[in-house]
Homo-oligomer: A and B are copies of this chain.
Amino acid sequence: MSDPEHDHDTVLAANQRFYDAFEAGDLDAMSDLWSHGPGTACTHPGWGTLQGWGAISSSWFAIFQGPAPAQFILTNPQAHVSGDVAWVTVDENLIGIHSAQTVAAVNIFERQGGGWKMVCHHGSPVADRDTPDG
Chain A, 13-24, contact with B by CB distance < 8 Å: what is the 0/1 string?
000000000000
Chain A, 89-119, contact with B by CB distance < 8 Å: what is the 0/1 string?
1010000000000101010101000000001
- The A contact surface, by secondary structure, is strand
**Do A122 and B108 have beta carbons less than 8 Å apart?**
no
**Do B48 and A132 have beta carbons less than 8 Å apart?**
yes
**Do B110 and A82 have beta carbons less than 8 Å apart?**
yes
**Do A132 and B50 have beta carbons less than 8 Å apart?**
yes
Please, could you name 16 A-B residue pairs with CB atoms under 8 Å apart, sorted by A? A38-B80, A39-B78, A43-B104, A43-B106, A44-B132, A46-B127, A47-B126, A48-B102, A49-B106, A51-B78, A82-B85, A82-B119, A85-B85, A106-B106, A124-B124, A124-B125
